[in-house]
């Protein structure tokens, strides 16, 4: 009987540990961009976070799917905008659970990539994109959680 209780305890603890580690980060969800013309799926990639475009209000242009036409690399200008990874390398702060830093954000509307950090404020997230490593040389875009999250 003792062995059975011990084994049952080990199994229960294992499941509790697995379920705790499987919980998603508060940022790993689906967000609307500021203009609400795109939905972005944020997911964890190792120790960092990435985001890709999963929905567009207007996915077509001239009867064809939109492409990454403003990319500075000519070879990438024909890739589809839908599914495009626009955020990479964002890491969660150890000191502030609502702050993420050291990322790069790509703006497909102008083809430029910026350094970025992000602060979660309830159902919104303020993404600050900037140049030359200076946060004051940039702008903030507010993302909103998609419905039902």
Report domain extents, the chain. Answer: 25-145
Sign of the CA dihedral 64, 43, 143, 90?
negative
Average pLDDT over residues 79-99: 98
Class of domain 25-145: mainly beta
Dihedral class, residue 102 (left if φ above 0, else alpha if ψ from -120 to 50, else beta): left
The whole model's pTM is what? 0.82
Average pLDDT over residues 6-18: 39
């Amino acid at each position: 009987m003792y062995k059975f209780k011990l084994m049952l305890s080990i199994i229960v603890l294992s499941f509790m540990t697995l379920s705790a580690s499987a919980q998603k980060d508060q940022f790993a969800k689906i967000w609307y961009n500021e203009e609400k013309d795109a939905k972005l799926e944020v997911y964890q990639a190792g120790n960092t976070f990435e985001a890709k475009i999963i929905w567009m209000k207007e996915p077509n242009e001239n009867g064809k799917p939109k492409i990454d036409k403003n990319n500075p690399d000519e070879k990438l200008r024909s890739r589809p905008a839908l599914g495009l990874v626009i955020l990479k390398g964002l890491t969660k702060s150890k000191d502030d659970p609502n702050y993420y830093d050291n990322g790069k954000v790509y703006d497909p509307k102008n083809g430029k990539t910026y350094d970025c950090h992000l602060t979660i404020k309830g159902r919104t997230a303020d993404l600050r994109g900037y140049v030359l490593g200076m946060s004051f040389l940039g702008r903030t875009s507010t993302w909103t959680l998609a419905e039902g999250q």
